[in-house]
Amino acid sequence: MGVGGIGGLGLGGVVIVVVIAMLMGKNPMELLGQVAEQGGTTSTQTGAAPVDDQTSQFVGSILGSTEDVWGNVFQRSGSTYPPPKLVLFSGAVASACGRASSAVGPFYCPGDQRVYLDTGFFQDMKAQLGAGGDFAEAYVIAHEVGHHVQTVTGMTNKVDALRARGANLEGDNGLLVRQELQADCYAGVWANQAQAQLQWLEAGDIEEALNTASAIGDDRLQRQSQGTVVPDSFTHGTSEQRVRWFRNGFDSGDVGRCDTFGAGQL
């Protein structure tokens, strides 16, 4: 990676940017120029360790792909998609939703409409959960962007209103689980439409995402950490639910198939 490249990128970084530019249907030289100028919607806040430049470019480019897809979805419905900002950090970060450490994992804050990602999470995902790979990482990013879509469409406000009226939050049928599963479904919609446009997925990519969705199901995480499963405390859904809702979005490419709040949908 130490071989000379463009705009501070090594040869490997240049190759990644060129490939991602092709996936996004953009001019590779234009994207490389943007990288050299350090533009875009990605910012970095560092704590104990620096954020890897190559990872930063990969994550930022996946965010750009979600902007293209959701921009088209919103345009077809006669509206405009305001993309979120992406903040990469190491150790800890301050957001409009409060201060968070890397232990929280990736998260989206509706208050400032930013996606926060400690890139060390990807290493933890591989080491602790046995899940990883480029597309698995893309799924994680697309899931958080799904929460932004919920904010833009007003779904987040509806959930907050129900919460204020005392609706059930946690548990395998609670509002938090339904909200997370819809974000999984939206990640699947993104993957479907990006694939339809660019034919960029390789053999095994979808399996990477499904393996990751399964690895971060509440039941599997609880079984690993405490040896028992407590459905009443679920906040994200079971492994089966997370896989199923991602597949709903990916197989159909239809946002309308992501109504996790409908009666009997869970």
* Per-residue pLDDT tens digits for 211-260: 765 565 554 445 555 565 454 555 667 778 888 899 999 999 999 999 99
Report which secondary-structure segment, H or E, holds 115. strand 114-118
Please list the residues that pair with 116 across neighbouring strands: 87, 107
pLDDT on residue 144 = 92
**Cβ 171 vs Cβ 235: under 8 Å:** no
pLDDT on residue 39 = 35
Three-state SS at 108: strand
Q: Which of 217, 213, 220 is nearest to 250 (CA)?
A: 213
pLDDT on residue 250 = 93
Residue 163 CA, chain-centre distance (Å), reads 24
Q: Characterize the bridge pairing of strands 98-101 and 92-95.
A: antiparallel
Positions in the chain whose pLDDT score sits under 50 = 1-24, 28-40, 44-50, 219-221, 229, 231, 264, 266
Task: Using CB atoms within 10 Å of the CB of residue 64, give its burial: 0 to 12 exposed, 13 to 18 middle, 19+ buried.
Answer: buried
Specify the pTM: 0.74
Report which secondary-structure segment, H or E, holds 243. helix 239-252
pLDDT on residue 191 = 93
Four-point Cα dihedral 212, 144, 150, 25, nearest 10: -100
pLDDT on residue 201 = 77
